[in-house]
Amino acid sequence: MKTAKVFPTSLDGLLGADVLSDFDVELDLRRQSLGLYQKQACPTAAPNWAGPYSSISTGLSPGGRFFFPVQLDGHRLTATIDTGSQLTVLARAAAHAMGVTQAALSRDRSLAMQGVAGDPLSSRIHRFNKLQLGDVVVPNPPIVVADLALREADLVLGVDLLTSRKFWLSYGSRRIFISSP
């Protein structure tokens, strides 16, 4: 996958889960903002913004990545977040398990993508009916279907989806909070 172009200047480095997991992290990509806050480990953990939000309980992979349940067209999947991915990507195997056929994918627009190892990935942009993250519903999301091989997730939420709302990643309470519109 291509590295996402979120900020107006080039990046000087990357912050991985090894650093971020020491904090609660606020992602407000619409405002090109990343906030690091003291980690909240209590059951009443919450984001620091006013207004409604949805909360999702998560697991944590051995590499420190969140994984959490989502619903895509009524099918329960496991998702993770990757701010380095420009687009939201679904594993081809998960798409097939949901009933998206190869014939249906062949009618979708193809897209040249690059994997983390630099290898090209065969992919198609498929429009789904509904993606649900907790109480947050994303209607008609275009999602890239590609040959992903992630252990903990079927779906990678990329910058295209992350820019639509604020996200609060609470490593201490193992929850994700998503602002409501």
- Residue of 153 and 14 predicted with greater confidence: 153
Separation of alpha carbons 44 and 10, rounded Å? 37
Listed range (13-22, 85-94, 104-113) with the worst mean pLDDT: 13-22
For the cut 90, the answer to whether the pLDDT of residue 141 exceeds it is yes
Mean pLDDT of the chain: 87
Give the H or E element holding residue 128: none
Measured distance CA(70)–CA(94) in Å, rounded: 13
Instruction: Give all domains of the chain, ordered by start, each with its CATH number.
Output: 17-179 (2.40.70.10)
The pTM assigned to this predicted structure is 0.86
Total residues belonging to the chain: 181
pLDDT, tens digit, for every residue of 30-68? 888 889 999 988 888 999 988 899 999 999 888 888 999
CA atoms within 13 A on the CB side of 2: 12
